[in-house]
Structure 1
Amino acid sequence: YAQIQVRDMGRGIHPDFLPFVFDSFRQADSQTTRVSGGLGLGLAIVHHLVELHGGTVTAASPGEGQGATFTVTLPLMTTAPQTSQDNPLLDNSPNLEGVKLLVVDDEVDTRELIVFILEECGAQVRAVASAAEALEALAQMKPDLLLSDIGMPEMDGYMLIRQIRAKSAEQGGEIPAIALTAYAGETDNQQILKAGFQRRLTKPIEPDELAVAIASLMSSISS
């Protein structure tokens, strides 16, 4: 095994929160007035990616104000690396070769992860950080499908899709759209569909689920 440690001398982790530090949507400061942004997904994504490679990741901290240490352990390769043709993601996911996708998400980590997943499947991806940028990109590139976060500042996903649906077909008003959301309730699903999205995916995004949802929606639209 190879071991990588990342240490900092930052704010540290309270002992009561340490067992939950890799849980999705868990944050030590969960108040609505907190200064730090994010959804509490960063370390959950790290944990998921490390496990996909057969490794483990742990966190340790003496306490608040005393920094933290994160230890990643990964198995060493005993055979020659596989070529990209043997990439499990490509083998198990639909081929999105030639599909033009527009992704809008204000969280940079989530946005970059989605772009990586989709480009591995062969898609052409343009990613933007706001709904206003998405409207500009829609006019410029004429994408085949839109992937939009719901919770965004200034103009959220609901406002974005309503503005898009008010446009003519030539302006992109009928573009197939999938909503990305951290909320999984039935009420949220109904509101998302009513606003103008065709599908909804819950964060954190599973690579195969994302690719399959796109391919399925594209297929249903073309048939």
Structure 2
Amino acid sequence: RTFDPQTTDRALETIERNAKLQTQLIEDLLDVSRILRGKLLLNVAPVNLTTTIQAALETVRLTAEAKNIQIQTAFAPDIDLVSGDAARLQQIVWNLLSNAVKFTPEGGRVEVSLSQVDSGQEGRDAEGMPHWASFAQICVTDTGKGIDPNFLPYVFDSFRQEDGKTTRKFGGLGLGLAIVRHLVELHGGSVQAESLGDGHGAKFTVRLPLPDARKPRGSKGSLLMPDSSVLAGLRILAVDDEPDMRELLLTILEQNGIEVRAAASATEALDALEQFQPDVLISDVGMPEMDGYALIRQIRLLPDLATLPAIALTAYAGEIDQQQALQAGFQHHLAKPVEPDQLIQVIAALVQ
């Protein structure tokens, strides 16, 4: 059977649209898998958020134009660079914009803003000095279907959508916002959703920490590093199922005069403990078969290792994740990607 050119074009557009949807679903599943296993690492560098947001806007512009949706932008000038992964930051903005366009009806409006805000609270830097935290704030607001206030607490949960009608009408697996939350937390930031309910649109606000402009340039925002004599001769067992992560830990630790034994699994770590008496344990949490939590619980049952200082490495930077690590038996929790200076400072604090 043959079709006229118009029908053929529509069929090809449908095939392309569904192929892109399937590709996005697979990419979302892969990202969630990496996040859950703690294997999603960031390629950190200074990032211009204005450029990042503009790049994300270009990817949704055609879809917005097809629905006659107006996109308005407001970027504050002279926003400081953030420290992060440019591709993952663009993914955060793209997910928010994609949702806004998807759930906004024809003729609607999406607003995107970038500003610099102070937290309004005094914190302390790595050297214990007081400072006022500043953030880059990205807001994505739409005039779409809105979010039921009862669903707002769950909007960033994996595989959660407001109802079955949403899935049938708009597609997707309910992973986009969960990925946004994890990526934002990996960057040390926060994200929140607001909506007055059905038909009142939604607003998503992302805050990413900025370098402390009040700190003298010469300090470089660096940590107060311990005396090398504190670390010399220390014995550390480093556990991670990712070869690249093990290699990174070996490099950081050996450069500081530390003797390191690496293990690729929790089982391998338990075997190593029969011959190797470490002063500190560093363990990834998201490992197959036996995870880091199970490992530390098992270690705590061994009389000689009940008080072994232990550091958890996870893909999550949230307070809940930190509490979970501490409750399992770790003394400290560090989010990936690991900052070498921070890792060394934590080790020194644990053994002093």
Q: Same fold (TM over 0.5)?
A: yes
Residue in structure 2 matching 1:141, options 260, 269, 276 = 276
Distance 1:201 1:140, change over 3 A: same
Letter in 2 for 1:202: A
Q: Please state how far the C-alpha of 1:143 moved relative to its aligned partner.
A: 0.6
Give the Cα separation in 1 of the matches to 2:341 and 2:302: 32
SS in 1 for 2:308: coil
Counterpart residue number, 2:151 = none
Residue in structure 1 matching 2:330, options 185, 197, 215 = 197
Distance 1:192 1:113, change over 3 A: same
Q: Please state how far the C-alpha of 1:202 moved relative to its aligned partner.
A: 0.8
Distance 1:151 1:130, change over 3 A: same
Distance 1:102 1:187, change over 3 A: same
Q: State the Cα deviation string for residues 180-218 of structure 1 (Å, max 9, x = none).
A: 111111111111111110011111000100000000011
Q: Which structure has the highest helix share of the two?
A: 2
Letter in 2 for 1:163: Q
Give the Cα separation in 1 of the matches to 2:318 and 2:32: 25
Letter in 1 for 2:29: Q
Q: Please state how far the C-alpha of 1:29 moved relative to its aligned partner.
A: 2.0
Letter in 1 for 2:350: L
Distance 1:38 1:213, change over 3 A: closer
Q: Please state how far the C-alpha of 1:92 moved relative to its aligned partner.
A: 4.9
Q: State the Cα deviation string for residues 15-62 of structure 1 (Å, max 9, x = none).
A: xxxxxxxxxxxxx92315999998332x716x69xxxxxxxxx99xxx
Alignment of 1:91-106 (within 5 A): 92=225, 94-95=227-228, 96-106=231-241
Residue in structure 1 matching 2:296, options 151, 161, 166 = 161
Q: Please state how far the C-alpha of 1:138 moved relative to its aligned partner.
A: 1.3
Alignment of 1:71-220 (within 5 A): 92=225, 94-95=227-228, 96-169=231-304, 172-219=305-352
Q: Please state how far the C-alpha of 1:93 moved relative to its aligned partner.
A: 5.5
Distance 1:104 1:133, change over 3 A: same
Q: State the Cα deviation string for residues 100-159 of structure 1 (Å, max 9, x = none).
A: 000000111111111100100110001111000011111211111100000000000000
Question: Structure 2-normalised TM-score?
Answer: 0.39
Give the Cα separation in 2 of the matches to 1:38 and 1:201: 12
* Paired positions, count: 149
In structure 1, stretches of 5+ residues that fail to align are 1-27, 49-57, 60-90
Give the Cα separation in 2 of the matches to 1:34 and 1:196: 26
Counterpart residue number, 1:44 = 43
Kept in 2: contact 1:38–1:107 (CA 8 A): no
Counterpart residue number, 1:73 = none
SS in 1 for 2:273: helix
Distance 1:165 1:155, change over 3 A: same
Kept in 1: contact 2:237–2:278 (CA 8 A): yes
Kept in 2: contact 1:101–1:145 (CA 8 A): yes
Q: State the Cα deviation string for residues 68-115 of structure 1 (Å, max 9, x = none).
A: xxxxxxxxxxxxxxxxxxxxxxx9564211000000001111111111
Letter in 1 for 2:301: A
SS in 1 for 2:290: coil
Question: Structure 1-normalised TM-score?
Answer: 0.60
Give the Cα separation in 1 of the matches to 2:31 and 2:327: 30
User: Identity rate of aligned residues, in percent?
Assistant: 53
Residue in structure 1 matching 2:27, options 26, 29, 38 = 29
Give the Cα separation in 1 of the matches to 2:262 and 2:311: 14
SS in 2 for 1:148: strand
